[in-house]
Amino acid sequence: FAPWALAQAPQAPQPAQKGGGPFKVALLPLSIHSPENLEYMREGLYAMFSSRVELEGRVSVLERSAVKKALSQFSGEIDSEAAQKLGETLGADFVVFGSLTKLGDTASLDLKVLEVKGGKPPSSVYVQAKKLEEIIGQVDMLARRVDEKILGYPLTPLVAPVAEKPVEKAKEVAAI
């Protein structure tokens, strides 16, 4: 039993890159698609998202001031090509960009994760909600999915879940 259990144990995360340092990620401000002013959501989501994407030793978010300075060289909405160039300028490994859309009461936060040196198309990660405020409650899950795209492996808990009510089952067996 023991050798099998050890073989099935989750592996410790590997270092982020062959160079040993964390992946550098440039988070770009969201584009807003809404008839109302949602600047407060852009700012709030940026602050929340940047703190949740950061994973010590594995994923490092570039300073916002450096990203803003580099962004000033670009005009219009950022597409994959512009994100690629921006990432190269910043020395980033990944660029995360996207939009917040509000239509009626529903909202969608759509992000793209672009590997700067990968040459692959960006990966999409998104959440939808029936109300704009519900997007905030999904930031943790969205940040986790972005980290998984960056790292290339799922972020699963290293501890197996505990049975819900082991004490009651023991009582049932004792009663028989």
HSE, side-chain direction, 13 A CA sphere, residue 140: 1
Average confidence (pLDDT) over 67-78: 89
Instruction: Assess whether pLDDT exceeds 70 at residue 160.
Output: no
In the chain, the percentage of residues whose pLDDT exceeds 70 is 77
**For residue 13, pLDDT beyond 80:** no
Average pLDDT over residues 91-102: 96
pLDDT band for position 116 (cuts 50, 70, 90): very high
Is the separation of the CB atoms in 157 and 165 below 8 Å?
A: no
Distance CA 111, CA 122 (A): 9
C-beta of residue 45 within 8 angstroms of C-beta of residue 109:
yes
Q: Which of the residue ranges 37-46, 112-121, 154-163 would you say has the lowest mean pLDDT? A: 154-163
Supply φ then ψ for residue 104, to 5 degrees.
Answer: 65, -130
Q: Which H or E run includes 141? A: helix 139-151
Q: Among 152, 151, 155, 153, which residue's Cα sits nearest to residue 140?
A: 155
List the one residue out of 23, 54, 30 whose CA is nearest residue 117: 23
8 A C-beta contact, residue 129 and residue 138: yes
Question: Measured between alpha carbons, how far is residue 59 from residues 35, 66, 91, 116 in Å?
Answer: 35, 17, 14, 15
CB-facing half-sphere around the CA of 29: CA atoms within 13 A:
22
Give all strands (DSSP E) within the chain, no chain letters. Answer: 23-27, 31-33, 59-61, 94-103, 106-115, 123-129
Long-range contacts of the stretch 103-106 (C-beta < 8 A, 24+): 103/34, 105/130, 105/131, 105/132, 106/130, 106/131
User: What's residue 118's pLDDT?
Assistant: 83
More confident residue, 125 or 174: 125
